[in-house]
Amino acid sequence: MISGKKILIVGAGNAGRPVANLLNYLDNEVIVTDINPFNDLPKKAKRKIKILKKRGIAFELGYHDENILTNVDNIYISPNIPENDFIKKIHELAKIEKISIIENRDIGKILNSLIAIPMVGIAGTDGKTTTTNMINFALEDNFDTLIFSSLQDSLVIEGLVEMIVNGENKDKELAIFELPHGTIRMAEGLELDAGVLTNLTPDHMDEFKTFEEYIDRNIAIEKLLKKDGLMIVNGDDPIVSGRLNTFTHDYIVYGLKNPQKIEFEGNSYYNNDVEYDIIAKNIELNGLNGSNFTIVSSKLPTLVCSNCNEINCKCGSFKRKTIPPFEKEISIEVPGLLNVENTLATLIMSLILGSSLEDSIKKMSTFKGVKGRFEKIDCVNPMSVSTSEKNTVFHGSNSSLSSKSNSSLSSKSGSSLSSESDSSLSSKSGSSLSSESDSSLSSKSNSSLKMNNHSLGINIFMDAAHNPESMEKLFEGLDISGRLVISLDNPDTLTVRNKFKIGEVLSKFSDVIIVSSKNETIETLDPNASLEVLKGAGEIESYMTENVVDSIFKALSIATDGDNIIHIGPGVVNAYDNIKKDIKDAISFYRAISGNVIVIGGCGTVGSLMARVLKNNNVDVTISDSAPNTPLNRIFKEEGITLDLGGHNEDLLKSASSFFLAPSLLNNKKLKNYLKSLVDVPIFSVDEVLKYFKSDKLVLGITGTNGKTTTTNILKNIFTVSGLKVTEHMLDIQGNTELIPSLQSRLDGDVGVVEIGTFGNIGEVKNSAIGADVNIGIITNISKDHLVDGDFESYISCKKEILEVADTLILNADDPLVSYLALSKNKEDVIFFGINSDPLLIPVNNNLNKDDFNETRPCYLCGDVLKYSRYYLGHLGDYQCHCGFKNPILDVEAKNISIKDDSYQYTLKIAENEGKVILKTGGIANIYNSLAAATGAWVSGINFEDIVKGINTFGGVSGRFEILNDSPKIILDYAHNPSGVKSIIQAVLDLKNNTNLKNNTNLKNDSNIEIEDIKYNNDNNGENINIKDNKYNNDYNLEDINKFTNDINGGRDAKFIILNTISSESGEEGDLKIAELLSYGDIVIPVSNSAYNFSEHINTEVLYIDSDFEYCKKGTLGASFDQVKKGIELGLKIANKNDIILIIGEAGVKYSKDILEVK
């Protein structure tokens, strides 16, 4: 024993920690040093270290201090510690006997002396845990046993030491230990009475240089036997049977007389020359109910002395007692051929330790199994699909709830993409995205789901099989009714396994494979591991998810009556409690949505999307809302959602299997208590919708400062033209923030296209992109907007968050900031679009001041100012820096830009394809928007002809360069920041100078607004008009106004009248810049408070409406309905038929159509 020493442990890993714990228990002063900082250690290691610290063990992490070597007596060096200078120094001191090194055999001897009772150990690749627990079950009536296996702790040596430290070994009669390869190395000094070697197949190979090294480690269990010890070995395993000639102890060979063949790294292992001592024959497998077989045995040696009849011989003249040959039938309850082998090993161990044959067989026939080893979790009634469906509306229900509306106006996955599709996303060429999606992945039904009360049920099991060989043994001969759905957690742990082969093996036995990307040991996601399994599985129906919860819920969702679901993988060993909880959580949620699901507050923004996502996933949904009606009634009816409006029908509520509450109602305790008083069922939120219902389609996320909405809608039109259905939130709002993108991507459709905005808060874009399961991210441009405290850098950080989520990035090459972001991504994952047109062909408006419309940008590599050879729009153009930073090479480009027939036109070039694009609306900004959309469609696999057609048939977006009237020309645009204002003014002036605007009126009765007959004027004769600097007093009439307006440009040209309703979120700097840009109009009418405050900076004529300009701001909404109405009245009063009125800002977009009575 080592006691009273100061001991240094090098390494805080799976070996160092238990040694430290053991030596600390023996009253030594223990210090543990590790080169890795605490925060870099695995979570499990952190938890263990915290416990050891409380016991007085010191830890010095993140460095090795050589000074400590002169102040310790003994040092233990953990296995696999690299030979660095610190280790070399230790060996130098050991050579001159300054310190003493503690070896693994010293630790084994300590363990041996502390346990001090007969011990048996079980080693091998597969079946160790089950056999260990089977042996304990068989012997627990005859011995007071001490058992330790991976069921108690996945790190066996650590758990074994903990058991000793806690005194659990006292007064025990027999120790039964599972001995993984790592524990065998640490237990070199142990003395076993008997050992079992189940099998040896390639596993944990990243820990060994060769397979032979792995074999030698496990075979070493035989070296741990006492002089008269016995080995029990599986003769069907060619590795084990081929090493019997190296054994120095007696052994018993068992098996099924079914020699296995193992091939690894070009070597083949097979041995049919085996002499069996005991076999199983006439095996009848009974599916999930176990098996029947006959055991045939020759004479067997035991551990009992025939002279003194003791296991540990007391007479000093040991002579083995033997068991005569026998043949016995046995029935066991645990399924599979592997458990037949485990039963043979257990029966032998029971017999050699003195149990009778009859008692042993009787005991084994009642063994129910081991937790995590073909463990049955539940049997669930399946959901059946009702073929009839109707939309029902309840009105005016009696309820004790408030009559106020419950509507709320409040954000990788089980992606259905195949590995082929994934690879196409990272390439810079088109691939096919068929509109005829795999029905098992993307088809939806509006049928309701009901519980089937006359079902066989869906059985759910879990098992620890985690390598190809153990999986093959688990499923071989497993004859079951119904389909077998296999759920697999990431096969890798700290060990990397042959995942392709695992896929091949599973495809032989299963009907469906579902693979989780989560490595349950180190708690990280590795989708590449899942993809490798699925590649090996080939054409079998398969899915990839993020975690076990998703996998089991997916399995239940596709399972039918009589099917069997079994979850397997190393997580069942290393994270048993977590895996089992995940499985049960999925089952509970599945049951909760199997009946009548009621969404409370489903008429609101988020509530409506929650209900639609549920219904799109075949859940029977009713919306119960105190709102008397909903603008989404048609959508709900088409999708088969039942409505309970104007109150809450109590009989309906009592029938619920679960409730989902809209976000605005989550904290309503009165509502929750009321629902609980009616029926005790789960109450869920949007969190469960997002957790359990993943997007099963390709999702493109569009972000940036300007152009998001137009790009999104062009892209949707391209997909629609190509025959694909795009998910639509159908809300009368932009819907680009918070939870809307996340829910929209989960709606019915072949492809998702979501706009992702931000209010300038860190995490918004990232959370929306993650929530929406974005595969492809598009950044249109980045300029100052939504600035928090004027911090542009924070805003940049917000926008670039999509880089952390999307697999493929589509970036504007002409924006130096956006193109710079690509440097943080792999080149093959980034695709660039931009303008590559002859500068002489692009229309130039010589009236524009370059200082106003052209913006410089710093080089984001070196900090110097970029040099532009050409500006296209604001800071977008051809740029370069002396450090080498410049526009990247374009993958998608616009060539030969011109204005013709009142429209911008260009040649779209993608790879070798070229086509003519004619934009119906907009200017240079819409060229960029269409390029971004074209790139997104191309990467998604849409053919080039459909891309061109989709752009050319795009009619524009409401409120984005929308022409409301032809005479006078009224243009409505959402521009709300300096870049947007600059873009729309440049577009209007370009078109004004080159051509006449096309008539695109959309007024009631298809008539134009006549300025002589303004129906809402109320004969005010202009009393609401104030003119800047009192150029005209307030007592003028319509004749005065006409005189004033004719003075502008001598009355010869069309006037450019701008109504500014903007309240910029770029701060005062933004409002000031907008005011300066408005000077390019002939007349400016400030409508918002911000527009009024900064109007003194406008260097053109300014007319004021009669308003107190009360502060009216919510985001970029800066003016009231009344203010916008007065501005429009004034604009129309001063406009001639050939003039242009541009209305900009969110308030203008929100109110102008109602004011003008536009359809």
Name which of 175, 192, 233 is nearest 108 in CA terms.
Answer: 192
Q: How much of the chain, in percent, has pLDDT values that exceed 70?
A: 84
* Residue 784 CA, distance from chain mean position: 30
The residue-averaged pLDDT of 361-372 equals 91
What pLDDT was estimated at residue 494? 75
pLDDT exceeds 60 at position 1041: no
What angle, 0 to 180 degrees and rounded to 10, lies between the N-to-C axes of helices 337-352 and 128-139? 40
Query: Which of the residue ranges 129-138, 312-321, 862-871 would you say has the lowest mean pLDDT?
Result: 312-321
What pLDDT was estimated at residue 143? 92
Q: Given pLDDT bands bounded at 50, 70 and 90, which one contains residue 760?
A: low
pLDDT exceeds 90 at position 1110: no
What pLDDT was estimated at residue 609? 96
Place of tokens 């109504």: 1059
The residue-averaged pLDDT of 438-460 equals 48
What pLDDT was estimated at residue 842? 53
Residue 809 has phi, psi (to 5 degrees) of -115, 135
pLDDT top residue among 446 and 187: 187
The residue-averaged pLDDT of 658-674 equals 95
The continuous run of DSSP H or E covering 904 comes out as: strand 903-910
Query: Which of the residue ranges 568-572, 991-995, 1059-1063 would you say has the lowest mean pLDDT?
Result: 991-995
Q: In what order do the strands lie in the sheet with 1101-1105?
A: 962-966, 969-973, 1140-1144, 1056-1060, 1083-1086, 1101-1105, 1025-1027
β partners of residue 518: 525
Query: Which of the residue ranges 199-213, 1042-1056, 1142-1156 would you say has the lowest mean pLDDT?
Result: 1042-1056
The residue-averaged pLDDT of 307-327 equals 88
Buried b (16+ CB within 10 A) or exposed e, 852-864: ebbbebebbeeee
Q: Given pLDDT bands bounded at 50, 70 and 90, which one contains residue 417?
A: very low
Name which of 163, 123, 166 is nearest 146 in CA terms.
Answer: 163
The residue-averaged pLDDT of 339-364 equals 95
What pLDDT was estimated at residue 1159? 53
Q: Given pLDDT bands bounded at 50, 70 and 90, which one contains residue 449?
A: very low
What pLDDT was estimated at residue 922? 72
> 873-930, pLDDT tens digit by residue?
888 999 999 999 999 999 999 999 988 776 889 999 999 999 999 998 778 889 999 9
The residue-averaged pLDDT of 585-610 equals 95
Name which of 869, 910, 886, 911 is nearest 819 in CA terms.
Answer: 886
Q: What angle do CA 1129, 1134, 1136 make, to 5 degrees?
A: 115
Q: What angle do CA 818, 821, 823 make, to 5 degrees?
A: 135
pTM: 0.70
> 32-52, pLDDT tens digit by residue?
999 999 988 888 889 899 999
The residue-averaged pLDDT of 979-990 equals 80
Q: Given pLDDT bands bounded at 50, 70 and 90, which one contains residue 633?
A: very high
> 717-754, pLDDT tens digit by residue?
999 999 999 999 998 777 777 799 999 999 999 999 99
What pLDDT was estimated at residue 1053? 66
The residue-averaged pLDDT of 142-157 equals 80
The residue-averaged pLDDT of 243-269 equals 92
Question: H helices within 954-1112, ranges in order?
Answer: 978-994, 1038-1047, 1067-1077, 1089-1093
> 75-113, pLDDT tens digit by residue?
999 988 888 889 999 999 989 888 899 998 898 888 888
Asked if residues 320 and 91 have their Cβ atoms less than 8 Å apart, the reply is no
What pLDDT was estimated at residue 847? 52
CATH numbers and ranges of domains, the chain: 6-102 (3.40.50.720), 106-370 (3.40.1190.10), 393-410+594-689 (3.40.50.720), 448-591 (3.90.190.20), 698-952 (3.40.1190.10), 962-1156 (3.90.190.20)
Q: How much of the chain, in percent, has pLDDT values that exceed 90?
A: 51
**Distance separating the N- and C-terminal Cα atoms of the chain:** 93
pLDDT exceeds 60 at position 1064: yes
> 765-777, pLDDT tens digit by residue?
888 899 999 999 9
| Range with the largest mean pLDDT of 146-150, 804-808, 1011-1015 | 804-808
Would residue 369 be called left, alpha or beta, if left means φ above 0 and alpha means ψ between -120 and 50 degrees? left
The residue-averaged pLDDT of 386-392 equals 40
**Average per-residue pLDDT for the chain:** 83
pLDDT exceeds 70 at position 448: no
Q: What is the DSSP string of 1069-1136?
A: HHHHHHHHHGGGSSEEEE-SHHHHHTGGG--SEEEEES-------BTTB-S-HHHHHHHHHHHHHH--
